[in-house]
């Protein structure tokens, strides 16, 4: 005979259900904060550090936020500061943050009850940008299968490389799996001593990073659409087509321009063989999408390169992906709107489909508020430090876009600036996502409409 649920647990469940139905965005924020709190507590344990002493609160909080928000910015050396237990906690946080805590909750609920309740469907729909609740179950299965499969393939490609470096099978397997998780989830966090600087011309190491980052930045709805109709591109959704074309275009543009800017820079690509320069340019073109891995010192790059990376990071990855930023579809919709206005077209069209004006308004709102986040955080760090605008802006956009690239100033910032970056990483991972959902649901129907008049623009 099944036990009756205690009244206080029933009340708590009902409260959660009510929040999920009326404001799933609010519950998303609450759960993300809860996961960050748990990871912070685990990283604060003495067993989480190599020294055996409890990590300072800011070190644990910053690392937890960076991992859960799949950012990659750190204020301590991940490889040497955190123990094996700490690395395991960080990897778990990356997986949870990459998959999305709401999607993970739905997966666990499905495993236990063999079904997905209304609350879980609402939460997963909130995070994966699925408008039909009936599609949530299919998407969740696709998310977990795609995530584990792609991560496993990346790990299998990387483990032999670590074995070739002389590591034991256990160490190679651990390092390969950790790096694969970080690559696919665009986290940019590694536990290789010394980082990736020794692999600037290593195709075996860099190619999985490039491919895994690109796939991870597409987003699960786009991956599902392509996988379902792999041999029938015409049946891909408009979202998938815009995501793929915009992502590929930005990758190519970034690789070419960054390669051109750094080709003769002796501190980065200038002293390398031509083949290594090409590989370095490809990696530098894809990592601003949100992964944050780098085989050269970002701090030694030219200001033109920083500016190019600023733009790429701000756009970020695909919707419902492990990437950050305003998302590539947001950028694509605004470009299409500009083209339609320049041509004098009445409708905004792409691939034989018409894009609603409400989508354009939403794209503008998300972009403007994202720029506002960046502007306010930049102003705060300029006030708190004596650093120049170029390095501050780079760091701020990297945090907002959950990218993790850094010019090397993160660890030296004052504690107040660390709190700003923590808030920005959290806003970058959840802010645009929940904001877009909240704005999309705010559709008021008014009986009376005001007379139309056009103000002068420009």
Confidence of residue 33 (pLDDT cuts 50, 70, 90): confident
* In a domain? residue 9: no
* In a domain? residue 14: no
Helix axes 136-164, 169-184, angle to 10 degrees: 140
Confidence of residue 118 (pLDDT cuts 50, 70, 90): very low
Number of domains into which the chain is organized: 1
Mean residue pLDDT of the chain comes to 84
Name residue 349's beta-bridge partners: 354
**Helix/strand/coil percent split, the chain, to 5:** 70, 0, 30
Helix (H) or strand (E) holding 350: strand 348-350
Confidence of residue 1 (pLDDT cuts 50, 70, 90): very low
Mean per-residue pLDDT for 204-212? 94
Residue 30, pLDDT above cutoff 50 = yes
* In a domain? residue 201: yes
- The total number of residues shown for the chain amounts to 458
Render pLDDT for 121-177 as a digit per residue (tens, 0 to 9): 545 554 555 545 445 556 667 677 888 899 999 999 999 999 999 999 999 999 999
Residue 103, pLDDT above cutoff 90 = no
Residue 312, pLDDT above cutoff 70 = yes
* In a domain? residue 249: yes
Smallest CA-to-CA distance from 288 within 268, 302, 305 is with 305
Q: What is the pLDDT of residue 7?
A: 58
Helix (H) or strand (E) holding 354: strand 353-355
Render pLDDT for 379-414 as a digit per residue (tens, 0 to 9): 999 999 999 999 999 999 999 999 999 999 999 999
Question: Which whole-number Å values give the CA distances from 69 to 134, 257, 364, in the listed order?
Answer: 28, 28, 24
User: Bigger pLDDT: 457 or 246?
Assistant: 246
* In a domain? residue 453: no
Q: What is the pLDDT of residue 2?
A: 44
Confidence of residue 230 (pLDDT cuts 50, 70, 90): confident
The CA distance from 68 to 27, in Å, is: 16
Render pLDDT for 132-144 as a digit per residue (tens, 0 to 9): 544 555 666 767 7
* In a domain? residue 74: yes
Do the beta carbons of residue 312 and residue 300 sit within 8 Å? no
Q: Which residues of 154-187 are buried (b: 16+ CB within 10 A; e: fewer)?
A: bbebbbebbeeeebeeeebbbbbbbbbbbbbbbb
Q: What is the pLDDT of residue 112?
A: 42
Residue 344, pLDDT above cutoff 70 = yes
Mean per-residue pLDDT for 278-284? 95
Residue 441, pLDDT above cutoff 60 = no
Q: What is the pLDDT of residue 21?
A: 53
Name residue 355's beta-bridge partners: 348
Mean per-residue pLDDT for 41-57? 96
Do the beta carbons of residue 105 and residue 55 sit within 8 Å? no
Range of the domain at 167: 21-440
* In a domain? residue 2: no
Mean per-residue pLDDT for 38-55? 96
Render pLDDT for 445-454 as a digit per residue (tens, 0 to 9): 666 777 877 7
Do the beta carbons of residue 364 and residue 376 sit within 8 Å? no
Give the 3-state secondary structure of residue 348.
strand
| Cβ neighbours of residue 7 closer than 8 Å, sequence gap 6 or more | none
The CA distance from 341 to 204, in Å, is: 46
Token pair listed for 18: 């009510």
* In a domain? residue 452: no
Render pLDDT for 65-84 as a digit per residue (tens, 0 to 9): 999 999 999 999 999 999 99
Q: What is the pLDDT of residue 133?
A: 46
């Amino acid at each position: 005979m099944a036990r009756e649920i205690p009244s206080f647990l029933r009340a708590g469940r009902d409260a959660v259900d009510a929040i999920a139905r009326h404001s799933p965005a609010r519950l998303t924020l609450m759960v993300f904060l809860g996961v960050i709190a748990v990871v912070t507590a685990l990283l604060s344990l003495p067993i989480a550090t190599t020294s055996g002493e409890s990590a300072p609160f800011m070190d644990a909080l910053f690392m937890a936020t960076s991992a859960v928000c799949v950012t990659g910015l750190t204020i301590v050396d991940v490889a040497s500061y955190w123990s094996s237990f700490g690395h395991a906690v960080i990897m778990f946080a990356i997986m949870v943050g990459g998959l999305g805590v709401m999607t993970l909750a739905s997966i666990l609920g499905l495993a236990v009850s063999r079904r997905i309740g209304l609350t879980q469907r609402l939460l997963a729909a909130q995070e994966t940008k699925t408008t039909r609740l009936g599609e949530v179950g299919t998407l969740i299965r696709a998310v977990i299968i795609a995530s584990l499969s792609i991560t496993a393939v990346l790990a299998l490609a990387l483990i032999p490389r670590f074995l070739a470096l002389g590591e034991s099978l256990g160490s190679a397997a651990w390092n390969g799996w950790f790096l694969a998780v970080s690559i696919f989830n665009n986290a940019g966090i590694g536990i290789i001593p010394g980082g990736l600087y020794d692999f600037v011309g290593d195709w075996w190491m860099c190619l999985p990073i490039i491919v895994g980052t690109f796939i991870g930045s597409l987003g699960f709805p786009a991956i599902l659409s392509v996988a379902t109709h792999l041999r029938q591109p015409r049946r891909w959704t408009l979202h998938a087509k815009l995501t793929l074309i915009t992502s590929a275009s930005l990758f190519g543009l970034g690789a070419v321009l960054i390669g051109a800017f750094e080709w003769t820079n002796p501190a980065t690509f200038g002293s390398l063989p031509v083949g290594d320069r090409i590989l370095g340019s490809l990696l530098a073109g894809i990592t601003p999408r949100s992964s944050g891995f780098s085989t050269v010192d970002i701090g030694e790059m030219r200001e033109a390169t920083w500016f190019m990376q600023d733009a790429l990071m701000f756009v970020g990855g695909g919707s419902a992906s492990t990437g950050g930023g305003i998302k590539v579809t947001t950028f694509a919709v605004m470009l299409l709107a500009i083209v339609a206005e320049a041509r004098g077209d009445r409708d905004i069209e792409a691939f034989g489909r018409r894009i609603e004006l409400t989508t354009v308004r939403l794209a503008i709102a998300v972009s403007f508020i994202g720029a506002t986040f960046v502007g306010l955080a930049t102003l705060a760090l300029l006030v708190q430090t004596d650093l120049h605008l170029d390095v501050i802006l780079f760091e701020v956009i990297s945090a907002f876009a959950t990218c993790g690239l850094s010019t090397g100033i993160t660890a030296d910032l004052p504690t107040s600036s660390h709190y700003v970056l923590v808030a920005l990483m959290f806003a970058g991972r959840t802010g645009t996502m929940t904001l877009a959902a909240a704005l999309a649901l705010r559709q008021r129907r008014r009986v009376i409409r005001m007379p139309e008049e056009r103000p002068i623009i420009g």
